[in-house]
Chains A and B, each alone.
Chain A
Amino acid sequence: MELIFWILSAITVLGAILAITLRNLIHCVLSLILFFLGIAGHYFLLRADFIAAVQILIYIGAVAVLMLFAIMLTRHVTGDEGPREVLGGKWWAGMGTAVIIAGLLWAIIRKDSLAQTLPAGTAATSVAEIGKALVANWVVPFEAMAVLLTAALIGAVVIALEEVIRKR
């Protein structure tokens, strides 16, 4: 079963790399969707079924569509491809920071000794337990999340709304 891990990782990393290096914005969003699918596959492999379904529902079903809409609304009328150079002069800054962080994390991971496999016989948490936890122990963050999402909904509409009244 390790082959599945490598295939999913290859898909995920390919999607992420293509998402930040392609020139055409729509192709970038499509590879970002591939990245989200790879991550959802990893969640299924880690037996977090509910989180995987939530990932597909929210990220691919809503965030990716939102990005497509934003790209559509912020292009020039003739539909050109965007700036001529794919990466600006900040290429080296970005790459250097990323390499430094990756190196730091590598050093941290190599040093510590971590448990290798899962202890056998543990049962996965079911969706019923997640539901019960949401309304029993975690009800305050749940309600706060509802308020946050409502505020984000109203705020996004207000920010993106066209100003109809210019001068009064």
Chain B
Amino acid sequence: MNIPLDHYLMLSAFLFAIGLCGALARKNAIIVLMGIEIMFNAGILNLIVFWHYRYFASVTAQMFAIFAISIAAAESAIGLALVIAVYRHYKSVTLDEMTSLKG
């Protein structure tokens, strides 16, 4: 399998950019959290790509990836719980309407 490393790095950079665009440009809090998950996955893909091409005999990168995936899952759980709690108070999840700390 002769896929150059460049192709994989392009892919993960592109995915990271898509996730960033989603996290910055959407108004719905849940879609922002989805964008954050896309960014996480792009980063972990980058890690595994370098593991495959450089450090194939070691487990360190796989450890890092396992811990990163677990942390991402825990963070998304807390983020979604916060969204539910905020919805209960403001009755909406649109980020434009949460302006009580402004000014």
Contact = CB atoms under 8 A, between A and B. Distances in A.
State if A and B touch, Cβ cutoff 8 Å.
yes
Interface of A: 1-2, 5, 9, 12-13, 16-17, 19-20, 25, 28-29, 32, 35-36, 39, 42-43, 45-48, 50-51, 54-55, 58-59, 62-63, 66-67, 69-71, 73-74, 82-83, 86-88, 90-91, 93-95, 97-99, 101-102, 105-106, 109, 114-119, 122-125, 129-130, 133-134, 138, 141, 145, 148-149, 152-153, 155-157, 159-160, 162
Q: Of B14, B21, B24, B59, which is in contact with the most chain A CB atoms at under 10 Å from its CB?
A: B21
A159 B88 CA distance: 11
Interface residues of B, number: 72
The main secondary structure of chain B at its interface with chain A is helix
B30 A51 contact: no
Interface of B: 1-11, 13-28, 30-31, 33-35, 37-38, 41, 45, 48-49, 51-54, 56-59, 62-63, 65-67, 69-78, 80-85, 87-88, 93-94, 96
**Which DSSP category, helix, strand, loop or mixed, fits chain A's interface?**
helix
B30 A116 contact: no
A67 B9 contact: no
B15 A50 contact: no
A102 B56 contact: no
Contacts of B41: 35-36, 39, 59
Top 10 A-B pairs, shortest CB-CB distance: A94-B25, A20-B22, A94-B24, A152-B74, A105-B13, A98-B21, A156-B81, A98-B17, A160-B81, A70-B80
Nearest to B96: A88
Contacts of A99: 17
